[in-house]
Structure 1
Amino acid sequence: MTETTQSILSIENLDKSFGAVKILKDINVSIEPGEFLVLVGPSGCGKSTLLNCIAGLEESTAGDINIGGRSMIGVAPKDRDIAMVFQSYALYPTMTVGKNITFGMKVRGTPEAEQQAKLNEVATLLQIDHLLDRKPSQLSGGQRQRVAMGRALVRDPQLFLFDEPLSNLDAKLRVEMRTEIKRLHQTLGASIVYVTHDQIEAMTLATKIVVMKDGVIQQVGTPNEIYNHPANMFVADFMGSPSMNLIPAQATSSGNSTQISIARAAGDELVLNFDREISGLNGSGSKEVILGLRPENITDPLSIVAQSGQLADCQIDVVEPAGSDTFVVTSLGGKQVTARLRADAEVMAGQSASLAFDLTKASVFEPDSGARIA
């Protein structure tokens, strides 16, 4: 059986141009039944354009899109067996919630009894059964988003498309709705493509993430792969909050050991042992690298993470209490570096403190290309 027939969605060599401007460049990605694919990247990276191509709202310039094993070339949006949830909700203001949800079924000639059964099922699932007689203007933003999702769910399509559905909600409601969408996916086993610029949303919702920049896919992987093994410095910097520390350093390999040396303002170098081979060193020699360390991999000696860490005294420039954690900023390799300590860690700005560097989850990048080399 070919990949196309196995996959709910398969995108092959897709390009999209507006005039002379190429927006999407050789996009290749697929999802299996029940996967939650999140397209993430900064504004203007092409993620919404890609979603619109999948939906048929934009026509691709080259390549192919298969949904359920069928090529979508020349297929109208209404015939693609998809349902879309927009950022703007797109509800009919004069219709009740119930009629908004059933309108599509009514247009398609679905029997009245089936419409009602579907409506009851979806309204209960989304906990909006008490709102069915209200108009959209009488609802909160979160309630409107549930109605928009309900309208998509009653279609029971092969593929759900979400275009930044939570970006109009306030921070607290966004977290609540994120949980609801996650629960829906687990309950229904639906196949979903979801667009966001919020990397926390991407990490919490996805089974598979596509990180995009300037119309090019930078990396495809699970949230764990993207977070712990970023393919390049762009992914490392974009995914994670606070983002990964990217520290200029010198890697020196001799026999079975590799050392990473980082310049410090005081003049003495910070030297750390690295237990993996770095591409291009081949057991001997020295080269400039960028050491990538997440804030949680630079911590205080009493932290659990610190058990596999290497201790070094560092000058603390800034202390930022954050409730469950304390973040501190120090200077390494000429860069501001963030460390994540326990909430009750005793540190003071302007003083030296012992920090533990855990290099077991470190990434090493090529300074010029930004590519991962260890």
Structure 2
Amino acid sequence: MSPILDIKNLYKSYGTTEILKDINVSIEPGDFLVLVGPSGCGKSTLLNCIAGLEPITGGSINIGGKDMTHVSPKDRDIAMVFQSYALYPTMTVAKNITFGMKVRGVDQATQDRKLAQVAQQLQIEPLLNRRPGQLSGGQRQRVAMGRALVRDPKLFLFDEPLSNLDAKLRVEMRTEIKSLHHNLGASMVYVTHDQIEAMTLATKIVVMKGGVIQQIGSPAEIYNRPANLFVADFMGSPAMNLIPAKAHRADEGTRIEITRKSGEPIVLTDTKNRDLPEDVILGVRPEDIADPDLRGAEAAQAAECLIDMVEPAGADTFAVMQLGGKHVTARLHAETTAKPGQPKRLSFDLGKVSYFAPETGLRLN
């Protein structure tokens, strides 16, 4: 099966300023690709290049097996949902959704059938005779999605569609978009700066920084095996703890030494990763530091840590301490006995840790 979207060696420059550098991405039919990264990383520019709204400086873009590099946006067989909704204020919801079909000369019966279908999918049937000014932000976003859905395109493009919504509505709309993707089997490219959106929606994630792809992979790959320090720090909430440490070979494995605020260093033994340089950055997710009495992981090892701060968060409690000169967060159970200013024995799951080179930031294991 050929990719529905295939981008090869794409460059984009404004004058002498390079915005996108050697972008190579492809997705299969039915994939949900999320482009994620901080503001200014080039993700929206890349989406605009795919849509044909921005000319590219070099490389190629294939959609549905056809070279679309220099093809007009209207002929690329795509539908785009914008952050700003971009609805016609004087038209009703029904006319906003069917306007594109009317312009393309689609017959009235087909317009009515597709309108009824998407109105039911998006649960906006009672809104069809209203105008955009009479709708909430979430309702307007549903209408913008409906206008894209009636196109039945090869590729859907979403440019931060939820960033104008409040937190609760964002979660609801995220669920709806995920459900739509599942029900339609459509191919989607979605831009966001929110790594939670990326993790929950994507079948494939592209993490970007400074116009360069840092890593491409499934949500599980990105989360569990980040390619470098940037991805490790950016993907995850709370972020992965990145702790300077020393690694020493020993008969039983590798001894990992982590300095504490006071007292002797913490010493852990990693039996899995044996070929590490002396200076490493130890990457450990907050959920992999736990109360020993509540963890049964085989590779877990306990060490005493001085707790600086405790943050109750419902089902979880976050405990913050200083290790290796860095603030380190542990995600503990609500019933933890951890208290600020007191030592607490905590368990580190070395079966799930990552190691990075301090000089290059690249993953070592």
Asked if these proteins are the same fold (TM beyond 0.5), I'd say yes
Match of 2:118 in 1: 122
| Equivalent residue letter for 1:321 | P
Aligned partner of 1:30 in structure 2 is 26
Map 1:247-262; keep pairs closer than 5 Å.
247-255=243-251, 257-262=253-258
Aligned mates of 2:175, 2:181 — CA distance in 1: 10
Secondary structure of 1:33's counterpart equals coil
**Partner of residue 278, structure 2:** 287
Please, which runs of 5 or more residues in structure 1 have no aligned partner? none
Is residue 2:160 matched to residue 1:169?
no
Partners in 2 of 1:174 and 1:32 — Cα distance? 27
Deviations 1:62-88 (A, max 9, x none): 000000011112200000000000000
2:38 aligned with 1:52:
no
Q: CA RMSD in A?
A: 1.1
Taking a change above 3 Å as real, the CA distance of residues 278 and 148 of structure 1, as seen in their structure-2 partners, is farther
Describe the shift of the 1:199–1:35 C-alpha distance in structure 2 as closer, same or farther (beyond 3 A). same
**For 2:187 and 2:341, how far apart are their aligned partners in 1?**
52
Letter in 1 for 2:333: R
Give yes or no for contact 2:302–2:345 (8 Å, CA) kept in 1: yes
Q: How many residues get paired?
A: 365
Counterpart for residue 341 of structure 2: 350
TM-score (norm: length of structure 1): 0.96
Distance 2:326 2:173 in 1: 37
**Which residue does the alignment assign to 2:236?**
240
- 2:66 aligned with 1:70: yes
User: Equivalent residues in 2 for 1:289-328 (5 A)?
Assistant: 289-304=280-295, 308-328=299-319
**Cα distance in 1 for residues equivalent to 2:292 and 2:272:** 23
Instruction: Decide which of 321, 326, 331 is 1:330's aligned counterpart.
Output: 321
Corresponding residue for 1:159?
Answer: 155
Q: CA offset at residue 257 of structure 1?
A: 1.0
Moved over 6 A (4+): none
For the 8 Å contact 1:303–1:341, the answer to whether it is kept is no
Equivalent residue number for residue 81 of structure 1 = 77
The gaps in structure 2 that reach 5 residues or longer are none
Aligned residue identity for 1:357: F
Task: Report the Cα offset of residue 317 of structure 1.
Answer: 0.5
| Cα offsets for 1:182-209 (capped at 9, x unmatched) | 0000000000000000000000000000
Counterpart contact for 1:306–1:357, Cα < 8 Å? no
The one-letter code sitting in structure 2 at the alignment partner of 1:130 is: P
TM-score, normalised via structure 2 length:
0.98
2:252/2:269 contact within 8 Å kept:
no
SS for the counterpart of 1:360 is helix
Aligned to 1:221: 217
For residue 344 of structure 1, report the CA deviation from its aligned partner: 1.1
Residue 255 of structure 1: how far off its partner (Å): 4.7
1:16 corresponds in structure 2 to 12
How far apart, in 1, do the equivalents of 2:285 and 2:248 lie?
Answer: 22
**Deviation digits for residues 121-155 of structure 1 (CA, Å, limit 9, x no counterpart):** 00000000111000000000000000000000000
Distance 2:337 2:273 in 1: 36
Matched, 1:341 2:335: no
